[in-house]
């Protein structure tokens, strides 16, 4: 193990990078072993963990899921009834979505009530609000994918709500739907947004978010 | 290459802080990483348990022609749907546009609006008040929405053979003049032989109460049924699946 590591490190000089990442100390007010109230400072990390799990379960669901009105419903029931661990994976993905929303919301409350958004962390707060929107976007687009009654009609209502927005609303609604009604195009669009656009955006924002956290350190206690 | 301009609050592990006291903060590696690993496993276990116990009943496949279906959004959007219920007609714009715009503008600009250095809760009454109000609003609206949904469901007595038989009689008396059932009955209104496959019981109740929710110009009139009789009819129709 150490020989392989040395081989790589001699060539790529990774250890300074690693040290840069791992060499920092955890202030007591954010360390749950030292102070019980520090559990609040875990919410961001737990959100991240859940999002990783969503990524993983999502990838496995994608092995079988077919984003077309004719096959989506059947492919989801196939996952739930036939595929090994399919029901668990599918349910984990559904439950994980709720958990992610809850944890991100709690994380935001922690940042808000400790006023960690103040100078110099303004930019990271803004990255955070964008992250919140992305997470909600995942929830909205993912809800359509099973193509059951609830999915179809909730999405219809959701897009109709967007449509009422002056100026841009009609345009955005048309772009999302790809027509006058929720249909085949809507499903492929929501699918691609859910599995490509939003994950790409999420990863970029998370990189920025974590870079700023490490650069600035955790905010000081009240 | 290691930059030599590390921020002052990030003293390298083990270094003695300028005050001269020994640094008590735990190092990230390995101590904190271990804590994080334990928390991660706990969270994962919790999620698997949740996924095993919290299941949702299966739904029928999407049917774009069935505009009578009453959809509910994912629970974390419920507060917003509840909020929209309080804005009717043109006022809906307040709910769909004005409020979201204001709230997200305020969220994005928060660090620039609230610029004081003060972080103690007692010294920031406005921020604390607004934060709590927002939190209570979201939680309150969610609860109201869940309770109202549950009431819709609870009002209805369970479906028994007696209710079904009574419902069938009532249907024959009041409804077949216009609606047809299994090939018999009127032709002025839609056939209801499979209505239960398309809409749920709550919706049937609401149509009997207010036929206009189907369309403003419907010819269906208010049917003189008592509450119990209406429940019988809705039970009977909800079972008409094929
Ligand atoms: C995808 C969702 C998000 C993830 C995975 C995430 C992750 C994290 C993590 C791991 C930290 C380190 C401190 C902690 O865990 O409490 C952090 C800090 C921070 N987050 Fe987030 N976050 C997310 C969303 C948000 C949101 C919605 C906001 C606010 C609108 C936000 C604002 C901040 C700020 C200002 C900090 C610095 C706090 C400090 O230094 O005390 N984040 N985030």
> Is residue B15 included in any domain, yes or no?
no
Domain-embedded: residue A9? no
Residue A19 within any structural domain of the chain: no
Question: Which domain CATH number covers B118?
Answer: 1.10.287.980
The upper half-sphere exposure of residue A131, i.e. CA atoms within 13 Å in the direction of its Cβ, equals 25
Q: What is the ipTM of this complex?
A: 0.91
**Residues sharing a CB contact under 8 Å with residue B30, sequence separation 6 or more, in sequence order:** none
Helix (H) or strand (E) segment spanning residue B26: strand B26-27
**More confidently predicted of A56 and B159:** A56
Q: Extract the tokens encoding B149.
A: 């949904």
Residue B124: HSE in the Cβ half-sphere, 13 Å Cα cutoff: 20
Q: What is the mean pLDDT of chain A?
A: 94
Full domain range(s) for residue B48: 26-55
By most ligand atoms within 8 Å of CB, the mutation choice from A213, A216, A220 for ligand 1 is A213
Residue with the bigger pLDDT between B195 and A204: it is A204
Among residues B132, B151, B170, the one where a domain terminates is B151
Checking if the pLDDT of B6 tops 50, the result is no
Query: Is B4 part of any domain?
Result: no
Could you give the CA distance from residue B79 to residue B101 in angstroms, rounded to a whole number?
Answer: 17
Question: Of B116, B151, B186, which closes a domain?
Answer: B151
Q: Is B205 part of any domain? A: yes
Checking phi first, is residue B98 left (phi over 0); if not, alpha (psi -120 to 50) or beta?
alpha
Percent of chain A whose predicted confidence (pLDDT) is above 70: 99
Number of compact structural domains in chain A: 1
- Alpha helix positions (H), chain B: 33-53, 78-85, 92-93, 99-113, 125-154, 161-174, 195-198, 201-209, 227-238
- CATH code for the domain in which residue A186 is found: 1.20.810.10
A127: closest CA among A119, A137, A136, A117?
A117
pLDDT score, position B186: 84
Residue A4 lies in a domain: no
Burial class (CB in 10 A: 0-12, 13-18, 19+), A219: buried
d(CA B131, CA A113) in angstroms, rounded, equals 8
Residue A204 in any domain: the answer is yes
Q: How many CB atoms lie within 10 A of CB A191?
A: 20
B76 and B36, same structural domain? no
Q: Is residue B18 one of the residues assigned to a domain? A: no
Pocket of ligand 1 (CB under 6 A): A 41, 43-45, 47-48, 51, 104, 107-108, 110-111, 116-117, 121, 124-125, 128-129, 131-132, 135, 206, 209, 213, 218-219
**Tell me: the pLDDT tens digits for A47-89?**
999 999 999 999 999 999 999 999 999 999 999 999 999 999 9
Per-residue model confidence (pLDDT) at position B19: 55
* Residue A146 C-alpha, separation from nearest chain B C-alpha, in angstroms: 8
Residue A40 Cα: closest atom of ligand 1: 16
Q: Is residue A93 predicted with pLDDT exceeding 50?
A: yes
Higher pLDDT, B205 or B112: B112
Q: Give the structural domain span for A197.
A: 39-216
Q: Is A65 domain-assigned?
A: yes
| Average pLDDT over all residues of chain B | 84
Whether the pLDDT of residue B183 is over 90: the answer is no
Task: Tell me, yes or no, whether B185 and B113 share the same domain.
Answer: no
* % chain B with pLDDT above 70: 89
**φ, ψ of residue A34 in degrees (nearest 5):** -100, -30
Q: Can you spell out the DSSP letters for A97-154?
A: HHHHHHHHHHHHHHHHHTTTTSTT-HHHHHHHHHHHHHHHHHHHHHHHTT-BHHHHHH
Question: The tokens of B207 are what?
Answer: 């149509």
pTM to 2 decimal places: 0.80
- Residue A164 pLDDT > 70: yes
Tell me the CA distances in angstroms from A150 to A73, A75, B199, one per residue in order.
12, 17, 11
CA-to-CA distance for A176 and A144, rounded, in angstroms?
12
Residue that wins the pLDDT comparison between A212 and B149:
A212
Region at A63 (left for phi over 0; alpha for psi -120 to 50; beta for the rest): alpha
Interchain contact, A102 vs B52, CB within 8 Å: no
Q: Do B55 and A101 touch (CB under 8 A)?
A: no
Residues B51, B83, single domain; the answer is: no
Question: How near does any CA of chain A get to the CA of B69, in Å?
Answer: 7
* DSSP assigned state of B159: P
Mean pLDDT of the region B68-74: 83
Name which residue leads in pLDDT, A135 or B215.
A135
Q: Which two tokens stand for residue A140?
A: 């909205």
Considering only alpha carbons, which residue of chain B is nearest residue A20?
Answer: B2
The total domain count for chain B is 3
Taking alpha carbons only, the member of A179, A213, A155, A199 closest to residue A56 is A199
Asked, for residue A6, whether it belongs to a domain, the answer is no
Average pLDDT over residues B183-203: 84
């Amino acid at each position: 193990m150490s020989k392989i590591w040395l081989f790589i490190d001699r060539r790529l000089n990774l250890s300074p990078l690693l040290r840069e990442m791992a060499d920092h100390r955890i202030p007591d007010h954010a360390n749950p072993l030292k102070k019980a109230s520090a559990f609040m400072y875990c919410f961001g990390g737990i959100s991240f963990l859940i999002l990783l799990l969503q990524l993983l379960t999502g990838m496995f669901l994608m092995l079988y899921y077919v984003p077309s009105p004719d096959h989506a419903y059947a492919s989801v029931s196939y996952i739930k009834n036939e595929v090994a661990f399919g029901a668990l994976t599918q349910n984990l993905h559904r439950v994980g979505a709720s958990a992610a929303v809850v944890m991100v919301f709690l994380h935001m409350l922690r940042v808000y009530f400790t006023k960690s958004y103040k100078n110099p962390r303004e930019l990271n707060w803004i990255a955070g609000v964008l992250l919140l929107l992305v997470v909600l976007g995942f929830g909205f687009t993912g809800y359509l994918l099973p193509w059951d009654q609830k999915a179809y009609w909730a999405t219809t209502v959701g897009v109709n709500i967007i449509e009422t927005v002056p100026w841009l609303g009609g345009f955005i609604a048309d772009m999302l739907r790809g027509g006058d009604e929720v249909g085949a195009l809507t499903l492929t669009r929501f699918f691609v947004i859910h599995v490509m656009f939003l994950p790409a955006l999420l990863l970029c924002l998370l990189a920025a978010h974590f870079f700023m956290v490490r650069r600035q350190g955790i905010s000081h206690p009240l | 290459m290691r930059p030599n301009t590390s921020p002052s609050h990030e003293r390298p592990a083990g270094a003695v802080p300028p005050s001269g006291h020994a640094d008590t903060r735990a190092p990230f590696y390995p101590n904190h990483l271990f804590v994080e690993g334990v928390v991660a496993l706990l969270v994962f276990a919790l999620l698997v348990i949740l996924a095993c116990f919290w299941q949702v009943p299966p739904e029928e496949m999407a049917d774009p022609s069935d505009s009578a279906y009453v959809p509910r959004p994912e629970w974390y959007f419920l507060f917003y749907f509840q909020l929209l219920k309080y804005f009717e007609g043109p006022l809906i714009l307040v709910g769909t546009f004005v409020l979201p715009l204001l709230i997200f503008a305020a969220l994005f600009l928060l660090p620039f609006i609230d610029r004081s250095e003060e972080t103690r809760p007692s010294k920031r009454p406005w921020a604390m008040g607004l934060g709590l109000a927002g939190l209570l609003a979201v939680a309150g609206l969610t609860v109201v929405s869940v309770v109202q949904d549950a009431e819709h469901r609870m009002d209805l007595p369970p479906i028994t053979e007696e209710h079904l038989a009574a419902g069938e009689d009532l249907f024959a008396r009041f409804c077949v003049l216009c609606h047809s059932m299994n090939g018999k009955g009127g032709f002025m209104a839609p056939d209801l032989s499979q209505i239960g496959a398309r809409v749920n019981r709550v919706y049937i109740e609401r149509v009997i109460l207010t036929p206009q929710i189907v369309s403003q110009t419907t010819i269906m009139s208010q049917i003189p049924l008592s509450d119990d009789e209406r429940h019988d009819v809705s039970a009977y129709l909800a079972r008409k699946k094929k």
